Amino acid sequence: MPSQPANNPAGNTLPGVKNVVLIASGKGGVGKSTSAVNLALALAVDGAKVGLLDADIYGPSQGVMLGVPEGQRPGVEDQKYFVPIKALGIKSMSMAYLVDENSPMVWRGPMATGALRQILTQTRWGELDYLLVDMPPGTGDIQLTMSQTIAVSGAVIVTTPQDIALLDARKGIEMFNKVSIPVLGILENMSVHICCDCGKKTHIFGAEGGMNIARQYQTRLLGALPLDIDIRERADSGKPSVAADPESEISLLYRAAARELVSALQQLEQHETHGQNTQNSPGFSIHED
Ligand SMILES: Nc1ncnc2c1ncn2[C@@H]1O[C@H](COP(=O)(O)OP(=O)(O)O)[C@@H](O)[C@H]1O
Ligand SMILES: [Mg+2]
């Protein structure tokens, strides 16, 4: 059963797609794209039908992470619809599939939002349990376009435990609250550095930031991923951790986070079906100003 989207832009659901989940942060470089692809792969390992939409119009990265060869284009149906590219067991769509990799995307706001709206509304995903959307950083036009164009089930906020990133994470949470998109949980990334020589754990960016922010906004900490060279190398080489070895220690962390995400969606759905007041419930938060 799909969750009832909280924002409802004229009931504009994507045909066949049960849950749309945004992977977002207020800040760039915190690991949204890496987390999005590994969460998507983790959901697929558990048997779900998964799509991944790269909405980072200015810096799309999912093509590389999924090992899609440069120059491969999505199919076209009925002269109007894109057919997503299948890779590593999931379907994907990205701006990078439509433009020349070497041409910089120097777009003005309206062009970028127009392009996003087009890939949002003109991609034929088929049947999907989850469509994860890898969002660009920030709280601007693209985020607004997203919330106004399609019905979204919820958002995951990726953050590092660093204070400044947490400030940006707060901005992200507040923005989703304003546009009535439930925050499903926080994914803390680069939470601890594990020395590859001695195995010593160091909290480079401070400890427990993600947990603190989750508590403050009455949402879940979906998981915490270490700063690990393996995560970066595998993502860069087109075979992210979960695809390379679904049973590795790192992959199990992503898979546990993906299950938490599913559980947060189910909890949201139950509250909606039972018509309960969603305020202050533990799985998500809706704040009024
Ligand atoms: N947990 C991690 N450990 C090591 N490197 C990481 C981790 N998460 C992300 N990275 C690396 O950090 C860089 C930024 O990550 P990315 O997912 O592109 O961030 P964003 O999408 O938020 O801009 C990439 O080179 C990525 O491989
Ligand atoms: Mg990114």
First to last CA, the chain: 31
* Token pair 């899609």: residue: 68
Q: Is 250 in the pocket of ligand 1 (CB under 6 A)?
A: no
Centre of ligand 2 to C-alpha 271, Å, is: 32
Read off the pLDDT of each residue in 74-88 and give the average, rounded to a whole number.
95
CB 265 within 8 Å of CB 153:
yes
* Poorest-pLDDT segment among 102-116, 234-248, 257-271: 102-116
CB 266 within 8 A of CB 281: no
Looking at residue 139, its pLDDT comes to 75
* Residue bearing the bigger pLDDT, 75 or 146: 75
Domain ranges of the chain: 17-273
In short, whether 75's Cβ falls inside 6 Å of ligand 1 is: no
Report yes or no: 190 and 157 within 8 Å, Cβ to Cβ.
no
**Nearest ligand by distance to the CA of 142:** 2
pLDDT, tens digit, for every residue of 96-130? 888 776 665 666 677 778 888 889 899 999 999 99
Give the residue from 136, 53, 47, 133 showing the smallest Cα distance to 92: 53
What is the band of 280 on the pLDDT scale with cuts at 50, 70, 90? Answer: very low
pTM of the full predicted structure? Answer: 0.90
Closest-CA residue, ligand 1 atom 25, reads: 232
Q: What is the largest CA-CA distance in the chain?
A: 57
Q: Cα(85)–Cα(67) distance, rounded to whole angstroms?
A: 11
User: Tens digit of pLDDT for each residue in 130-171?
Assistant: 999 999 888 778 888 888 889 999 999 999 888 777 788 888
State what percent of residues in the chain have pLDDT above 70: 88
pLDDT higher than 70, residue 7: no
- DSSP symbol at 92: E
Establish whether residue 39 lines the binding site of ligand 1, counting it when its CB lies within 6 angstroms of any ligand atom. Answer: no
CATH entry 2.60.120.10 includes domain 17-273: no
Q: Which atom number of ligand 1 is nearest to the Cα of residue 25?
A: 22
Q: Which pLDDT score, from 0 to 100, does residue 211 have?
A: 87
Ligand 1 atom with the smallest distance to the CA of 30 is: 22
pLDDT at 201 over 50: yes
Calculate mean pLDDT across residues 45-73: 93
190 lines ligand 1 (CB under 6 A): yes
Q: Which two tokens stand for residue 186?
A: 């926080």
Q: In this prediction, what percent of the chain has a pLDDT beyond 90?
A: 51
Give CA–CA dist 55/60, Å, rounded. Answer: 7
Comparing 263 with 198, which gets the higher pLDDT?
A: 263
Mean pLDDT (the chain) is 86
Beta bridge partners of 227: 193
Provide the pLDDT for residue 99: 78
